Amino acid sequence: MDNAVLTQWGQAGLNRRRFLAGLGAVGGAALLSGCATSATSTGPVKQTSGAVTIQSNLSSPQAKVAIEALAKDFSSKGQATATVNTIASETFRTQLPSYLTADNPPDAYTWYPGSLLNGYAKKGLLLDVDEVWQGMSNYSSAFRTLSGDGAGHQIFVPTDYYWWGFFYRKSNFAKWGVAEPKTWSDFIALCKTLQGKGVAPIGVGAGGDTAWVASAWFDYLNIRINGAPYHRQLLAGQSRFDDPRVTKVFNQWNTVLPYFDPQSTALDFQDATTSLLQGRTGMMLIGTFFADAAPKDILPDLDFFQFPVLDPAVPLAEEGPADGYFASSRTAHRAEVMDWLKYVATAPAQELYIKNSSGTVLPTNPDAKDSGTPLVAKGRALLESAKELTQFFNRDSSDALQPTADSALVRFIQKPNELPSILSDWQAAAQKVWSS
C-alpha cells in the first residue's frame, strides 16, 4: 500500500484575512447583544389563579420535609394552594438573580433579610408585604426593622431564627471535671485546663468549603469589644479593617489562638463537629444548625454557653440570624402569595415547621411555642437577654464581602504574625466590594 497519501490533506495555510472576515460577519450580531442584559418589563403583571410556587433552598432532608408539610397544611386550608420547589442551596444562591428577573418568576422564596434583599428591593423586584405585617403587630420591633427595605416598606417575613454559642458535650465536660465559664478569665482558665489534659480546647471547622464559620469569632469579638453599632458600621464600609479598633479585636483573638485546634483550618465544620463529639476538641463556637451534624442519640448530651463578656460597658449583643420568606414583585398570584406569607407568620404554622424540622430553631412569632427542650429554652433566654441582635458577617454586610473575610481570618489563624498585612489586604479587598 502506498502510504504517500496518509499525510496528504494539507491545503493553503491559514488565511488570516479570511478568518477575520468571518469573525466580522458574526460581529454584526453584537448589535443585538443588549437583549441579554436589558432590564425586564415593569408593567403590571396579569393576575391568574393557581398554586403559589415557593422556590426553596431548604435542601436538607428534615427541612425539606418540614417545608413540604407546611405547604400541604396551607393548601388544605382552602383558598389557595402552594407547591414547594427545592433547589440545592448553592445553586439557588447563584441562580437567584435569574429567578427574580425571569419573565415569569417563582412567587415566593426562602431567604434571609439583609443587604442583598435591599438591593433587589431598590430595583423594584420585591413584593411590598406591608399588608402582611399589619397582622404581625405582636412581632418584636427588631424583626420589623430587619425586614424593612430602609425606605419605609416591609419586604420580608421572618419565620424562625437561631443562635450561636460555645457548644460542648456535657459528658465530656463532666469527664474532664470542668464547668461552663462565666467570665473571660474563666474561659482562659478552662482552655488551659483542657490543654493540660491533652484536648485541643477550641474547635473551629474553617477548612474545606466552610471557611465562613471563622467569621463568628470576628463578629463576636467585635461586638463584645467595640459593640454592635460599630460592627455594623465597619461592615457597611463606614470604617476600615485596618482601623486600630479592628486591630484590638485581633489582639484579643491572639490571646486565645494558642488554644485553637491545630486542625482549625483543615477540617470543615461537619468534620470539626465529629472531633468535638469524640472529645478531641473541647468546645466550638457555632450556630445551632450544627446539631444536625450529630447523631440523634447524642443531642441530649449537647449544651452551650454564651460568648463571655469582655467589656461590661458595651451593651450586650448576640448573633441571632433570622430566616424566612420574600416574594417577587412580578408574581402572577399576588393574593395567594400574601395568603402564604400571612400563613407562615402565624404561630401554628411556625410550630408545625419546628415540629417537622430538626427543632433547634426558634419561632419569630412570640406566641408560637418552640420545641421546648432545655437547650432551646436556654438559647431563647440568651437571645432575649441581648440588647441587640446581629445576624452574621455575610448577612450584616453582603455575600460579596464574605470571601474577603474568609481569606483574612483563615490567614490570621494560620499566620497571626502577619496581622498588619492581613488587615491592609482585607481593607483593599473590601474596598473593591464596597466601591463596585
The answer for residues whose C-beta is within 8 angstroms of residue 285's C-beta and 6 or more apart is: 164, 165, 166, 167, 202, 204, 216, 217, 220, 307
What residues between 110 and 129 interact with other proteins by CB under 8 A?
A: 119-120, 123, 125
The answer for residues whose C-beta is within 8 angstroms of residue 159's C-beta and 6 or more apart is: 323, 324, 325, 344, 345, 349, 350, 353, 363, 364, 365
The 380-409 site mask, x for binding other proteins (CB under 8 A), equals -------------------xx-xx--xxx-
What residues between 241 and 270 interact with other proteins by CB under 8 A?
A: 263, 265-270
What residues between 342 and 381 interact with other proteins by CB under 8 A?
A: none
Beta carbon nearer to other proteins, 65 or 377: 65
Beta carbon nearer to other proteins, 377 or 428: 428
Least spacing, CB of residue 325 vs other proteins, in Å:
15
Q: Are 381 and 219 in contact (CB under 8 A)?
A: no
**SS3 (DSSP) at 88:** coil
**SS3 (DSSP) at 427:** helix
- In angstroms, the CA 65 to CA 106 distance is 20
Least spacing, CB of residue 360 vs other proteins, in Å:
11
- Residue 222 interacts with other proteins (CB under 8 A): yes or no: no
Beta carbon nearer to other proteins, 149 or 406: 406
Q: Are 247 and 223 in contact (CB under 8 A)?
A: no
Beta carbon nearer to other proteins, 154 or 273: 273
What residues between 315 and 334 interact with other proteins by CB under 8 A?
A: none
Q: Are 215 and 392 in contact (CB under 8 A)?
A: yes
What residues between 152 and 171 interact with other proteins by CB under 8 A?
A: none
Contacting residue, 47, 49, 50, 61, with other proteins by CB under 8 A:
61
The 11-30 site mask, x for binding other proteins (CB under 8 A), equals xxxxx--xx-xxx--xx-xx
Least spacing, CB of residue 308 vs other proteins, in Å:
25
Cell of 140: 418584636
The answer for residues whose C-beta is within 8 angstroms of residue 42's C-beta and 6 or more apart is: 124
